[in-house]
Amino acid sequence: MLRQGLRLLLTACVALFAVASLGKNANDNSKNISPWPGGAEVAVVLTYDDALDSHLDIAIPQLNAHKLPGTFYLSGARPSIRARLAEWRSAAAAGHELGNHMLYHPCRKSLAGRDWVKPWQDLDHYTLEQFVDELQTTNSLLAAIDGERTRSFAYPCGDMQAGGEDIVASLKRHAVAARFGSADGQHAIDDGNFYQLESFDALGKSGDELIAVVEAARAENSLVGFMFHGVGGDYLTTSAEAHRVLLDYLAAHPDVYWVATVRDAVAQLQRFQGGQQRKSEPLASTAREN
């Protein structure tokens, strides 16, 4: 009886070990497949919201010093668009993406902590048609600045409803991707939903804390996003020092960290996912194509 029990236990242990080894090999294989250019281990998108002066004064000069691209989500009615239009145009010419963050930065006033939302910015009182109108007008404004036709979007306040209606279906006709906030900022490489592109809120974080977010994503080969507001000034601020430390770190190993605009990172991941899809299709369908 005892011997039979021992044999059973041994069989179970061998089976468990085999399953564990299989799992390990599967993980190891997946880590060998990098969707990122040059076999980089992680893609990093640096995004900046609300068209703030500190982007033009601090963030962009720091990015340019390392030739790293950022994605700037502009709200068309912000003062810096009127006062510093030529500088935004120069930023786009230097390789930064200008993204759509609406004209009036509408947010849902009915949610907690939204006392600051003015009645005319209240997304709860928009119609879907009004939302789409403003979305398209912002695309036109941005095209007049940078001449681009492909545009990504960032949800003001992360809100995805206008007048109680879901905005995502409409958004898909006017933007290639849409960014919102999330805890770890990671978008998995097999995730085909580009209208909930993750980003880590860099508010108040140190350089080391930002680097830790990149390293966690590196372990997964994922696409990691950062959301900045003020950099060394304005509001919801990340210090200029923390921002610089992160950029220094990323720029030191371009073979490991692929820093891209949202537009480029999404296009790259879509190509990769399309390739993976074709590989997994049965041979018969390939034959039919030929």
Residues lying near Zn ion in the complex (CB under 5 A) are found at: 49-50, 156
The sign of the dihedral angle between the CA atoms of 110, 124, 118, 134 is positive
Cβ 72 to Zn ion, closest distance in Å?
11
What residues have CB less than 8 Å from 192, skipping those under 6 apart? 273
Cβ 105 to Zn ion, closest distance in Å?
5
Residue nearest to Zn ion (CB): 49
> How many Cβ atoms from other residues are within 10 Å of residue 1's Cβ?
5
Cβ 28 to Zn ion, closest distance in Å?
40
Residue closer to Zn ion by CB (options 99, 207) is 99
Cβ 158 to Zn ion, closest distance in Å?
9
Cβ 254 to Zn ion, closest distance in Å?
29
Cβ 75 to Zn ion, closest distance in Å?
7
- The helix/strand count (H/E) of the chain reads as 11, 11
Residue closer to Zn ion by CB (options 40, 197) is 197
Token pair 């963050």 in the structure block, residue: 101
Residue closer to Zn ion by CB (options 152, 222) is 152
186 φ/ψ sector (left φ>0, alpha ψ -120 to 50, else beta): beta
**∠ CA 84-87-91 to the nearest 5 degrees?**
140
Residue closer to Zn ion by CB (options 138, 221) is 138
Residue closer to Zn ion by CB (options 163, 181) is 181
3-class secondary-structure state, position 157: helix
What residues have CB less than 8 Å from 40, skipping those under 6 apart? 34, 254, 255, 256, 257, 258
Residue closer to Zn ion by CB (options 49, 264) is 49
What residues have CB less than 8 Å from 159, skipping those under 6 apart? 106, 107, 108, 111, 123
